A = this chain, B = another copy of it.
Amino acid sequence: INGARLIMVATPANAHGDIAEQLAPFLKDDQIIMLNPGRTLGTHYFYNLLEKNGLKANVIVAEADTLIYTCRLVKNGLCRVFSLKKELHVAAHNPDDTQMVCELLSEFYDVIVPAESVLETGLSNLGVIFHPVPVILNIARIEEQSTFSHYKQGISPTVATFLEKIDNERIAIANALGVKVDTAVKWLNRIYRTEGDTLYEALQNNVAYTEVLAPTTIHTRYIYEDIQTGLVPLSILSKELGIENSAMDCVIRLASMLYNYDFYLNGRNEGIIDFQKIINSRKVAISR
Contact = CB atoms under 8 A, between A and B. Distances in A.
A155 interface: yes
Interface of A: 134, 136-141, 143-144, 153-159, 161-162, 165, 218, 246-247, 250, 253-254, 257-260
Contact of A139 (B137, B253, B254, B260): B137
A141 B143 contact: no
A277 B259 CA distance: 37
Q: At the interface, is chain A mostly helix, strand, loop or mixed?
A: helix
A278 B177 CA distance: 48
A120 to B, nearest CB: 28
B137 A155 contact: no
Nearest to A165: B257
A146 to B, nearest CB: 8
Contact of A141 (B141, B246, B247, B257): B141
A157 B258 CA distance: 10
A161 B161 CA distance: 27
A250 B257 contact: yes
A223 to B, nearest CB: 11
A156 B143 contact: yes
Contacts of A162: 257-258
A258 B140 contact: no
B138 A157 contact: no
A221 B162 CA distance: 21
Contacts of A161: 258, 260
A24 to B, nearest CB: 36
A164 B260 CA distance: 12
26 contacts: A134-B140, A137-B138, A137-B139, A137-B140, A138-B141, A139-B156, A139-B158, A140-B153, A140-B155, A140-B158, A140-B159, A141-B141, A143-B156, A144-B156, A158-B218, A161-B258, A161-B260, A162-B257, A165-B257, A246-B253, A247-B257, A250-B250, A250-B253, A250-B254, A250-B257, A254-B254
